[in-house]
Amino acid sequence: MKRGFTLIELLIVVAIIGVLAAIAVPNFMNARLRATIARIHGDHQALRTAVESYAVDNGAYPCPELASDDQGNVTTWPYYVPDKLVAPVSYISNAKLYDPLGRPLEDLPRLVSRYRFKVFRCQTRSNLADANSPGNAEALNVLGQYMIVSHGPNRWLDLPSGFSDGANTTDWFWLPYDASNGLLSPGDIIRAQGHQVAGYPGYDITWNVSAPRSPNG
């Protein structure tokens, strides 16, 4: 005599599968995110080594690359890791230097987001705040000569309120990402010249989550 499964038995099996999926899928996604963050930390360390090697060979840190639109017009922001770290001398093997949590800029749709890079003594455009401006001077004092930045898991830039390329004292104190606040917490992954940035003790800063377009436009 043949006997099939009852409806109750099938429903129990489906319920068990659903419970297991509800447990497994978030853990899998979290594992992928942790791996991506670990990769970014590794890339930041490799970039730091490349930047310091460039400075030893050239007597100065490489000024950041400015973004360009589809017609090749240079914008005032954001600042990227420069191509001169790749050619003519290869200080780093990864020629693309892309941020795995990055996203195309809304006003530069075909530009894939690269790692952000800012050297506080570099004057990239004459119409921007100079190296002695309040933001650049305070960043030099707290962060060192430069910083390397990636998007955090929210994939938006978490900038200080009123960000203006160095004119304000806290312009370069972006909200640091800290996984201990929750894996999906806001903030950007930041490496200053000598350390991974986890916070700014003693600073009272408010932040805005910014769309990935220039905050000046």
d(CA 166, CA 120): 9
d(CA 51, CA 146): 9
Question: What digits encode the pLDDT tens for the residues 18-29?
Answer: 887 777 666 667
CB 61 within 8 A of CB 117: no
CA–CA separation, 109 vs 13, rounded Å?
A: 47
The CA distances from residue 171 to 32, 39, 56, 67, 122, in Å, are: 32, 27, 28, 19, 15
CA proximity to 148, closest of 184, 112, 107, 176: 176
How far is it, in rounded angstroms, from Cα 203 to Cα 197? 14
C-alpha dihedral over 90, 93, 94, 96, to 10 degrees?
20
C-beta of residue 121 within 8 angstroms of C-beta of residue 136 = yes
* Arithmetic mean of pLDDT, 72-84: 75
- In this structure, are residues 111 and 160 in contact, taking their beta carbons and an 8 Å threshold? no
Q: If pLDDT is split at 50, 70 and 90, which confidence band does 138 have?
A: very high
Average the pLDDT over each of 31-35, 42-46, 56-60, 207-211 and give the range with the smallest value.
207-211
Q: Mean pLDDT, to the nearest integer, of 77-105?
A: 80
Residue with tokens 């890339």: 43
Pairing of strands 207-210, 157-160: antiparallel
d(CA 49, CA 88): 17
The answer on pLDDT for 84 being more than 90 is no
pLDDT at 215: 41
Where exactly are the structural domains of the chain? Answer: 7-210
- High-pLDDT (> 70) share of the chain, %: 82
Q: What is the mean pLDDT of residues 1-26?
A: 73
The dihedral region occupied by 116, where left means phi > 0, alpha psi between -120 and 50, and beta the remainder, is beta
